[in-house]
């Protein structure tokens, strides 16, 4: 595969997993909920096409961003490995779903309970953005569907496919592409 992000030693390979569910398919690739055969632990696997130079560049940039952006307030990158003509990005599975789904669940809650939970989620999202901005990273696709809740209800920012590094020169903001 050349000089890509998965050439480094990987802990896992594609055959280590069972596909539980196809979550999303699009031009960017495919997203699956997978189960590690040996432990039954659940993960999210994103399979990106890795054929053309453009696809390789986009996949390598996304992996580099994921590695750079790691914090307790972001969805964790577990591993990257190649399979066939794809590169697979293995990430933590957030059992609580996304924020859009959670907002619907909260409709039956008391106002006080909603306020407490919303403040906690808001704080955690702000901490994620603070972390990203300290690294000069702009998310560019922050929405409820890209904020995930772990098994303990903690909010984590995810879906970093549109992240971009920004640098400040003089009084202008420039985008690295």
Tens of pLDDT along the chain (177 residues)?
444 444 567 899 999 999 999 998 876 789 999 999 999 999 999 999 898 898 898 889 889 888 999 999 999 999 999 999 999 999 999 999 999 999 999 999 999 999 999 999 999 999 999 999 999 888 878 899 999 999 999 999 988 765 555 544 434 444 444
Cβ burial 51-87 (10 Å sphere, 16+ → b, else e): eeeebbebbbbbbebbeebeeebbbbbbbbbbeeebb
Superfamily of domain 99-175: Transferase(Phosphotransferase) domain 1 (1.10.510.10)
Residue 111: the pLDDT is 97
Residue 116: the pLDDT is 97
What are the tokens at 104?
A: 């619907």
Residue 136: the pLDDT is 86
Phi-psi region for residue 65, left (φ > 0), alpha (ψ -120 to 50) or beta?
alpha
User: What count of other Cβ atoms lies within 10 Å of the Cβ of residue 177?
Assistant: 6
Residue 3: the pLDDT is 46
Residues 41, 78 contacting (CB under 8 angstroms): no
Alpha helices in the chain (DSSP H): 53-68, 99-105, 111-134
Residues of the chain with CATH 1.10.510.10: 99-175
Phi-psi region for residue 92, left (φ > 0), alpha (ψ -120 to 50) or beta?
beta
Domain 5-92 falls under CATH 3.30.200.20: yes
What are the tokens at 8?
A: 């480094």
Residues of the chain with CATH 3.30.200.20: 5-92
% of the chain with per-residue pLDDT over 70: 84
Place of tokens 């992000």: 5
Active site residues: 141
Residue 82: the pLDDT is 94
Q: Is this prediction's pTM over 0.85?
A: no
Residue 164: the pLDDT is 56
Instruction: Provide the β-strand partners of residue 82.
Output: 87
User: What count of other Cβ atoms lies within 10 Å of the Cβ of residue 171?
Assistant: 5
User: What count of other Cβ atoms lies within 10 Å of the Cβ of residue 119?
Assistant: 10
């Amino acid at each position: 595969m050349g000089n890509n992000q998965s050439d480094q030693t990987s802990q896992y390979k594609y055959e280590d997993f069972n596909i539980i569910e196809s979550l999303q398919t699009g031009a960017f690739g495919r997203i699956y909920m997978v189960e590690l055969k040996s432990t039954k632990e659940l993960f999210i696997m994103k399979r990106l096409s890795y054929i053309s130079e453009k696809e390789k560049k986009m996949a390598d940039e996304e992996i580099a961003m994921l590695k750079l952006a790691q914090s307790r307030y972001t969805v964790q990158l577990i591993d990257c490995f190649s399979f066939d003509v794809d590169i697979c990005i293995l990430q933590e599975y957030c059992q609580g779903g996304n924020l859009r789904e959670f907002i619907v669940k909260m409709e039956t809650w008391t106002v006080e309970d909603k306020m407490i939970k919303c403040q906690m989620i808001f704080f955690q999202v702000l901490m994620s953005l603070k972390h990203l901005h300290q690294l000069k990273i702009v998310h560019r696709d922050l929405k409820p569907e890209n904020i995930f809740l772990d098994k303990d209800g903690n909010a984590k920012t995810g879906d970093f496919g549109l992240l971009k590094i920004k640098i400040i020169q003089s009084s202008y903001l420039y985008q690295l592409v």
